[in-house]
Amino acid sequence: MRFGLFGINNGALATNPADAVRVAVAAEQAGWESLWASEHYVLPDPPVPEAPLPPDAPILDPFVALSNVAAHTSSILLGTGVLVLPLHTPLVLAKKVASLDRVSGGRLQLGVGVGYLEPEFRALGTSLAERGERTVECLDAMAAVWGDRDFKGRHVEFAQVRAEPKPVQDPVPVHFGGQVAASFRRAVTRGTGWYGWSLDVEAAGKFIAELGRFERPQGLAPLEISVTPPPRSRIDRAAVDAYAELGVTRLVLVPQWSEVDSVLEFVDDVAALF
C-alpha cells in the first residue's frame, strides 16, 4: 500500500505556504509516497448542501502549491486531487501540466474529474451539462499539443502551433475521479488510475466491482486504485489491510488542516503503518 497526503493547498497550509513546505519535507522524510492538492476556483456563498467546504475555506491554486513544495523536495510524487477539468482552457492547462512536471523532475500525478458544483460552473460561465464532453476533449487536446499535432474539437481548435517544453513523463499519469459509470469507463479504458473520494471499505468494494465491468485495453499497466477514506475515519493496520484486500493500491489520507502542528503529528503517526 502506498500512502498519499491530501490537502497540501488547504487550510493552514494555504494561508502560510512555508508551513506547506514543512509538511512536504516531513512527509518525504517519513516515507509518504505522494502529496495531493485539491481544486475549486470558487465556493458557493451562502453554502449549498453539496459544497465540500465552507465559502471562506482557503484553497491555493494546485499548480502553485505543488510547485512550491516541489522546490523543496526531490522524490515525493505530486498529485492534483482532482482538477475540475471542464473549467480549464486545454492549451493553458497543457502548459501548466508540462511546466509542473518539468520543475518537479517528472513527479506529477494528474488527477482529473468532471466536477459537480453547479454554482462554480455558473460563475465561470461553463455548462455543467457539457462537463463530460469537455473533459474528454481537454485530455485529447493536451495530448495533441504535446504530440505536435493539430486538433479540432467542438470546444477547442488549433493548428500549426507548438508548446515547449513537453512534460518529462510520456504519458503523464492520469487518475480519473468520479463515482459514476462514465468515470469508471474513462479510468479503465484510458487512465493510469481511478480515484475514489470519501469511501469506507464497503463503498470502495462496491465501486471497485463496478470498475471490473469495463475491459482494460492491452498494453496498459494494471489500473491503480486510489481511495480517500471518509475524513476523521480511523486508519489502523486492520483498515489498511481491508482496503488492500479489495485491490486499493494507494490511500490518500486527510489530516486536520486547521493547525500545521496537527498535520505534522498526523504525518508521523500514519508513517508507523508503512
Q: What is the pLDDT of residue 245?
A: 99
Mean pLDDT across 34-51: 97
Q: How confident is the model at residue 231 (pLDDT cuts 50, 70, 90)?
A: confident
For the segment 142-157, what is each residue's pLDDT rounded down to a tens digit?
999 999 999 999 999 9
For the segment 30-39, what is each residue's pLDDT rounded down to a tens digit?
999 999 999 9
Mean pLDDT of the chain: 97
Whether residue 61 has pLDDT greater than 90: yes
Whether residue 258 has pLDDT greater than 90: no
Whether residue 256 has pLDDT greater than 90: no
Q: Which residue's entry shows cell 505530486? A: 78
Q: What is the pLDDT of residue 228?
A: 98
Mean pLDDT across 2-7: 98
Nearest to 186 by CA among 132, 259, 138: 132
Which residues have a Cβ under 8 Å from the Cβ of 238 and sit 6 or more positions away?
none
Q: What is the pLDDT of residue 9?
A: 98
pTM above 0.75, yes or no: yes
Alpha carbons 242 and 6: distance in angstroms, whole number: 20
Alpha carbons 42 and 44: distance in angstroms, whole number: 7
Q: What is the pLDDT of residue 105?
A: 99
Whether residue 257 has pLDDT greater than 90: no
Q: Which three cell numbers stand for residue 143?
A: 495530448
Whether residue 64 has pLDDT greater than 90: yes
For the segment 89-112, what is each residue's pLDDT rounded down to a tens digit?
999 999 999 999 999 999 999 999
HEC per residue, 173-238 = CEEEECCCHHHHHHHHHHCCEEEEECCCHHHHHHHHHHHCCCCCCCCCCCCEEEEECCCCCCCCHH
What is the CATH class of 2-271? Answer: alpha beta
For the segment 162-193, what is each residue's pLDDT rounded down to a tens digit?
999 999 999 999 999 999 999 999 999 999 99
